[in-house]
A and B are shown apart, each in its own frame.
Chain A
Amino acid sequence: MGKLYNFKRSLWVFHASGGSCNACDIEIVAALTPRYDVERFGIKLVGSPRHADVLLVTGAIPRDFADKLRRIYEQMPDPKAVVVIGNCGTSGGVFYDSYNIAGPIDEIIPVDVYVPGCPPRPEAIIDGVVKAWLKIEKLEKQLEGKKE
């Protein structure tokens, strides 16, 4: 049997909320709590980006938070993926082009998965995280390939 390069660990997720109205955050909590219980798949919310594989970002990002979000992203180890939850983070939503908004999240950090909705359902969030998982597996394979 050949060597497996796939991402073999549990997926740890860090949640950064930048100016969210809390609806997307509540849906993330709904995905974690017993009804959906994503921890049974190994998807775990962690308290530091330094331990995380996936960054969940919610909300339209205010200008003051943009550099902090950049720093949070840079603190994550490789391979990593970013999932944007909700319309505000995806396009700016109702805050589009507002004077105090730094813009959609993909203008601040690279985004891998978009989960639109206001707010998106937990099923959609789980689907988004699974897509990020697939992306990380690909990146892991690339990193392993570089090592050899």
Chain B
Amino acid sequence: MSLTLTSPSGFWNPLLWLAFLILFTLIGYIIYSKGNPSYKKDTEQVKPYLSGNIEPSKEKIQVKAGDIYWGFVEALKDYYKVLKAMHTGDLRDYILWYLGIGAIIIFILIGGV
């Protein structure tokens, strides 16, 4: 049984790949073993250098999707302040708003008759 798969773009042999994998694992281990074993875990030695400043939390420095709209939200903050106050999270309130606004629209459409 032949393990070699020949195709127009080359060939593939699992044994050859296994040999490469073992070789690269060995090289990787040699590089790893040359590392400095005297570093102290859980100290400043493993933290990034930020000109001596304390590393800020990831939440503080990450750019959030909402930050893209910062200018928009900032410009309309008075409007959003009112909306946020109205935004209770209670579904019944929203249905009430829906019915109320719907009633006003119907009232306008039929001309108040």
Q: Which one of A69-77, A82-90, A94-102, A122-130 is at the B interface? A: A69-77
CB neighbours (8 Å) of A71 from chain B are 44, 52-54
A50 at the interface (CB under 8 A from B): yes
User: How distant is A28 from chain B, measured CB to nearest CB, in Å?
Assistant: 18
Interface residues on B, range: 10 to 19
- CB atoms of A77 and B38 under 8 A apart: yes
B45 at the interface (CB under 8 A from A): yes
**A78 vs B40: C-alpha distance when bound (angstroms):** 9
CB neighbours (8 Å) of B53 from chain A are 68, 71
Main secondary structure of the interface of B (DSSP, over half): loop
- The interface of chain B, by Cβ under 8 A from chain A, is 36, 38-40, 43-45, 47, 49, 51-54
Known contacts A67-B52, A68-B51, A71-B53; 10 further A-B pairs (Cβ under 8 A) = A16-B52, A68-B52, A68-B53, A71-B54, A72-B49, A74-B45, A75-B49, A76-B45, A77-B45, A143-B38
- The interface of chain A, by Cβ under 8 A from chain B, is 16, 48-50, 65, 67-69, 71-72, 74-78, 143
- A sample of 23 inter-chain contacts (CB < 8 A) reads A16-B52, A48-B49, A50-B49, A65-B52, A68-B52, A71-B52, A71-B53, A71-B54, A72-B49, A72-B52, A74-B43, A74-B44, A74-B45, A75-B44, A75-B45, A75-B49, A76-B45, A77-B36, A77-B38, A77-B39, A77-B45, A78-B40, A143-B38
